[in-house]
Amino acid sequence: MRITRRANERGLTELRWLRSRHTFSFGEYFDPAYVAFRSLRVFNEDVVDPGQGFGSHPHKDMEILTYVISGHLRHEDNLGNRSVLGPGHAQAMTAGRGLTHSEFNASNHEPVHFLQVWITPQTSGLTPAYSRWQPAKRQAEPLVLLASPDGAHGSLRVWQDAKVYLGKLQAGRACNYVLEAGRGLWTHCVDGQICVDGISLASGDGLGLDGSEGVRLVGESDALFLLLDLL
């Protein structure tokens, strides 16, 4: 099974200070054809104006990943964490039995552009937690583990049988990914253009695959993408 989600078909929320695209149903946007993909519940692409952001608000029983594409995002939560994420940086929150946080543009001059990825945890009522991740200066491998169930290789830990990779391919370069039986793969093109299993994806496009043993990814231009391996 294949699910192709084109950038311009996603849901849209526009406020005075926010432009948000929703791959799956979120908030007031609902599409019964796009509610979730396996444990992947939310995939939002947000652009927040300078000095603006999401005020303090609660979450419960969700694994929430944030990846900053450009600009700087300021995070604060009721666990006492205070941080500013720059381009290419990421964070993970285990909302568990309850966590309150805010996310604001740390700049008064430029917008911040980031992705929010929500994954349903295996267990409810977990202890709330927060962690940060930043890449090495150079990404030598085409796929770098960003999040995993055990925090392997310095990745962010998520309480679900899911692995999230940050992918980079130069134009004309390729890599293969082996998907185990019974699992699904979601690929989101962040920037540039890639071909996934014969399907071309441009910035903002997503593709879900079920039941593929081997997936070939080819950079049709220099490309940045997220790849999620989900039970």
Residue 212 confidence (pLDDT): 72
Angstrom CA distances, 169 to 55, 176, 220, stand at 36, 12, 9
Q: Which long-range contacts (CB under 8 A, 24 or more apart) does 10-18 make?
A: 10/45, 10/204, 16/49, 17/48, 17/49, 17/52, 17/53, 18/46, 18/47, 18/48, 18/49, 18/52
* Upper half-sphere CA count for residue 196 (Cβ side, 13 Å): 27
Backbone angles phi and psi of 137, in degrees to 5: -60, -35
Q: Report the alpha-carbon distance of residue 22 to residue 98 in Å, rounded.
A: 24
Question: What are the b/e assignments for 220-231, b being 16+ CB within 10 Å?
Answer: beebbbbbbbbe
Question: Which token pair is 43?
Answer: 């995939």
- Given a contact cutoff of 8 angstroms between Cβ atoms, the answer to whether 64 and 126 are in contact is no
pLDDT at 172: 97
- The pLDDT assigned to 117 comes to 98
pLDDT tens figures, 207-230? 999 987 789 999 999 999 999 999
Predicted confidence at residue 79, as pLDDT, reads: 98
Instruction: Check: CB of residue 169 under 8 Å from CB of residue 219.
Output: yes
Asked if the model's pLDDT at residue 164 lies above 80, the reply is yes
Residue range of the domain that includes 62 = 2-230
- Compute how many other C-beta atoms are within 10 angstroms of the C-beta atom of residue 133: 21
For residue range 7-64, list pLDDT tens digits in order.
999 999 999 999 999 999 999 999 999 999 999 999 999 999 999 999 999 999 999 9
pLDDT tops 90 at residue 136: no
Mean pLDDT of 115-123: 98
CA distance 33 to 217: 26
Give residue 135's pLDDT band: very low, low, confident or very high (50, 70, 90): confident
CATH number of residue 186's parent domain: 2.60.120.10
CA 111/CA 199 separation, integer angstroms: 31
Q: What is the dihedral sign for C-alpha 182, 176, 215, 39?
A: positive
pLDDT in tens, 166-206: 999 999 999 999 999 899 999 999 999 999 999 999 999 99
pLDDT at 115 over 80: yes
Q: How many domains does the chain have?
A: 1
Model pTM?
A: 0.97
Identify any residues that bridge with 43 across adjacent strands, giving them in sequence order. 117
